[in-house]
Structure formats: C-alpha cells, structure tokens
Structure 1
C-alpha cells in the first residue's frame, strides 16, 4: 500500500507525466519489495513553491508505507525518485525533500476497511 505523493512548482504540461508515474511506481515497488498493484503515485504540479527563498524548480514528496521504510531503503528510494524527477522534470536532487512515514496497517484504510 505504499503511497507516494509529490508536489512541485514545475508545470509538467510538456512532460509525459505517465512516464514519471510508471517509473516511480516500479521503483517504489522494487525497493520496498511490495507488489506494484498496491503502489499509488500522485503528482501535483505547477503549484506555487519556494525552497531556500528561491522559486527555482523544487519538489516535496511524502512516501507512506506499511513497513519497508528503513534507513537503508529510504536512502535508495530518495536516490531513485530524485533521479526520476531530475531526468523527467529537471528538478535537481538538492531541491527535493522526501518525508518517509511508516504506518500500522490499522492506520491505513482500503476497500472499506483497514489493512
């Protein structure tokens, strides 16, 4: 049930967003050893955002997962997701924060119940 939500100030109108969604979904599933069928990726783009007093391309992401978020995995995921957004949206890794949140199954709803 990993959910990755990314917000960026970069307008992605000229970018094939589905490529970012596919690449991020595969990376999250692979690095967390979770079935991709449970991975959700959401991107909001073109929103006002400043980082370090600059409105240069930047992004903020949050990855929520039931398990699998370890210090080692978090580093790998941060590198993989940052690389995808650098290649596809020209957002430099130093302008991309990612928050990792590990939740209990009872704290995540799905299909009218919880995990």
Structure 2
C-alpha cells in the first residue's frame, strides 16, 4: 500500500536502478512497519527540473500510505530516502523535497477494488 514516486533530473543511464528500487522498498517497509510485498517504488530519471534556480542534481518525491505516517516517521523517511538518493544518484540531501500523504483505505485502489 505505500507508494513512493521519485523523480530526478539525473539521467539513469549507467545507474544501477535496481539497487535504488531495492533499497527504497526495504527502507519504506521497515520504517512504516508495512509488508514489503505491498510497497511500490517508481523512479523517473532525466526529468527536466530546476531547484533553487539551477539544474544541478535534484529530486522530488511523494510517498502515499494508509497510516504509519507522522512527524517522527516522516523525518526518518526523509533522511533515509535522501541518503539513498545521495549515495546512488549523487543528489545532495539539500536538493531533495518529499511530500507525505496519509490516505484513507477507501482512497487507495488495488486489485480492482480498494483497501
């Protein structure tokens, strides 16, 4: 049920995207206390993006979850995802925004229905 969408202006050619996806999936599941088999990670690279007026490496993320989010959890998620982006894509933590959405079960579709 948790879904993390990441967009970056960093081209993904030559990047081990499987490592980014795997690390992000495990981190989201662990931090939210959700089963990893429900975690979805989307990574889009080479997206035209300006942050602070420059086109240096940057990223934007949105994480949607049914519960589990809150001030301390969000801080840990932000820090952990930023570390993954820095180590795997060379995106500095100060050039990454992430938005958190806590949604109701009826607002999240899966398997032809809702949760």
With the length of structure 1 as denominator, give the TM-score of the two structures. 0.99
- Alpha-carbon offset, residue 47 of structure 1: 1.1
Q: Mind listing any 5+ residue stretches in structure 1 that lack a counterpart?
A: none
What's the CA shift for 1:96?
A: 0.3
Question: What does residue 19 of structure 1 align with?
Answer: 19
TM-score by length of 2: 0.99
Please give the alpha-carbon distance, in whole angstroms, between the structure 2 residues aligned to 1:105 and 1:2: 11
Output the CA distance in 2 between the equivalents of 1:21 and 1:27. 10
Question: After TM superposition, where is structure 1 displaced by more than 3 Å over at least 4 residues in a row?
Answer: none
Is the partner of 1:57 in helix, strand or coil? coil
User: For the aligned residues, what is the CA RMSD?
Assistant: 0.4
The match for 2:70 is 70
Q: Distance in 2 between matches of 1:103 and 1:45?
A: 26
Distance 1:39 1:98 in 2: 17
